[in-house]
Amino acid sequence: MSRTSVELAPFSTFVSNPSTQSLRDVLHEGPPQNETTIATEPASKEDVSKGTTAVVIASVTCVTAVSTLLAGLVTVGLPTMAKDVNLDPSLLLWPVSIYALTCGCTLLILGSVTDVVGSRIMYLIGCLLQSAFTLACGLSRTGTQLIVFRALAGVAISFCLPSAVSIITSTFPEGKRRNIAFASMGGGQPIGFSLGLTLGGVLSDSIGWRWGFYIAAIINTVIFGLAVYGLPRNIDSQEPITWTRLSSDIDWIGALISSASLAMLSYAFASITGNASNIRHAPTLLTLLTSLALIPLFIFWVGRQERLHRPAIIPNSLWRNRTFTSICLAVFLTWGAFNAVESMLTLFFQYVQRISPIQTSIRFLPAPVSGALSNIVMGLVVHRVRADWAVAAGTAIACVSPLLMALADPAWSYWAVEFVAVLLSPVGADVLFTISNLLITSVFPAKTQALAGGVFNTVAQIGKSVGLATSAVVASSVTARAGFVEEGERPRALMVGYRATFWYCFGLCLATLLVALVGLRKIGRVGVKRE
């Protein structure tokens, strides 16, 4: 049996067959030779109390919800914020982009550190830092201060996201409670973002956008107190934290190469998102090419680490696993399409239909409802249905959203098209969140679950950046060629570009559907409790 077949076939068998006792039994082989083998559940992991279950689920759900709430708040309130802090027009999008940039380029390295230091302590540090930097954003008096504190808040959430995944897998055995925990964590994202959009509009038109950051900081501090009190203290390794472990158990060079590449890639895409013509500027082009040049270097390095049986941050052998590669590609495409559709809907409401921020916020209210329902359903049934069918069904439903907006007329009633588009937009991402986390954490060994969470969130973050940048390029280039020159024709010109972008997002959704049908075929059920 070749190495490739060892990595592909057992994963499908192991996930879909609930009676399988261990991967080693399936392979009829001896002890695993490297750490890319799928880890089985520790024998010592028993049922936890209902109180602990409630605290863990509430904590990881709320911390992701607060993060996306701030993203929604900044998205809607940015024009008002920029005016109050005298933000230079050339830096208008940076309070949004810098958060994604610093978060995306620190997830892998902090995920690796979490697996050595411990998920509980890293999670608590992240909660505390996020509270402090969120409060600082509300207290900012200059545009530079706002950008800097948003950047630091992006690093803070990178402490929380990988450690939250590790906390879930360390606390709950495979089965219903782990499924519900991941589904709840996923549900916090669309709910938080939509509530942030609503708060951003309401506060900007009333007591002020700063109160959005103050409220978020208060909520996050409550989460920190809840986590200190209720998170299990025995979920981390009891090995002492030493400099030797920190230096030998982490692929620092691989982490630095990947972080540098992601940082430059995110910067380049953020620059393109602000102005598509920036792609022709030397600094942006050089940054983009350098980030792409680091990818072969990263592949060479982790391949070397694997051959020498040393820690590799993302072993090359994982990409030969069809299921792992397919689920990462699906996450990349889905988050790119979802983020682009949400952003284009915001611009459509405000610049084409010419409605106020608060009215825009109200129009997004169906999204958290459908997001919550999607995650509740997935948490309850994910272990009962085939994963490829679930992803395909969720993606097919999400395809309807950009398709409707591509066909929509701005003069039509909100209830005729836009309501349905907003309602269905989060379904694909929410369905995929639960399944992809269950699959990706199954691929990584038990002692690197935080890194697994870092991989998922990094792929999603890159997808968001690429999706938003490419959709912005499509919209601006099509609008520029529309030929409308009169000021009163501006909404019509913008709509031509937005319509092209919605068709582009529809194409991304169809590509995700193809990945689900081909790359994830016959993988069976996930989240099934194993004896």
Q: What is the pLDDT of residues 111-137, one digit of tens each?
A: 888 888 888 899 999 999 999 999 999
Could you tell me if 111 and 382 are in contact, meaning their C-beta atoms sit under 8 angstroms apart?
Answer: no
The neighbour count for residue 164, using CB atoms within 10 Å, is 29
Q: What is the pLDDT of residues 325-352, one digit of tens each?
A: 888 899 999 988 988 898 888 888 888 8
Identify the top-confidence range among 230-234, 237-241, 341-345, 479-483.
341-345
Q: Where are the alpha helices (DSSP H) in 1-106?
A: 3-16, 23-27, 50-84, 94-104
Work out the mean pLDDT of the chain and round it to a whole number: 80
Whether the pLDDT of residue 421 is over 60: the answer is: yes
Using alpha carbons only, how large is the chain's radius of gyration in Å?
22
Please tell me the pTM assigned to this model: 0.79
Do the Cβ atoms of 469 and 279 come closer than 8 Å? no
More confident residue, 350 or 294: 294
Mean pLDDT of 479-500: 77
Tell me: pLDDT of 35 over 90. Answer: no
Return the HEC string of 132-163: HHHHHHHHCCCHHHHHHHHHHHHHHHHHHHHH
In this prediction, residue 400 has a pLDDT band, given cuts at 50, 70 and 90, of very high
Q: Is there a contact between 66 and 192 (Cβ–Cβ < 8 Å)?
A: yes
pLDDT at 13 (0 to 100): 33
* Crossing angle of helices 94-104 and 143-171, rounded to 10°: 40
Asked which of 150-154, 378-382, 403-407 is least confident by mean pLDDT, the reply is 378-382
Most confident by average pLDDT, 40-54, 496-510, 516-530: 496-510
Indicate if the pLDDT at residue 38 is higher than 50.
Answer: no
Q: Does the pLDDT value for residue 37 go beyond 60?
A: no
Encoded tokens for 35: 């750490």
Judged by DSSP in three states, 468 sits in helix
Architecture of domain 50-233+249-519: Up-down Bundle (1.20)
460: helix, strand or coil? helix
**C-alpha distance from residue 190 to each of 97, 187, 371, 380, 433 (Å):** 18, 6, 6, 19, 11
Distance separating alpha carbons of residues 346 and 357, to the nearest angstrom: 9
Residue 301 reports pLDDT greater than 80: yes
- Spell out the domain ranges in the chain: 50-233+249-519
| Residues 140-153: tens digit of each pLDDT | 888 888 889 998 99
Task: Give me the count of residues in the chain.
Answer: 531
Check pLDDT > 90 for residue 492: no
- Mark residue 175 as left, alpha or beta (left: phi above 0; alpha: psi -120 to 50; beta: remaining): left
Query: What pLDDT shows up at residue 342?
Result: 84
Between 4 and 159, name the one with better pLDDT: 159
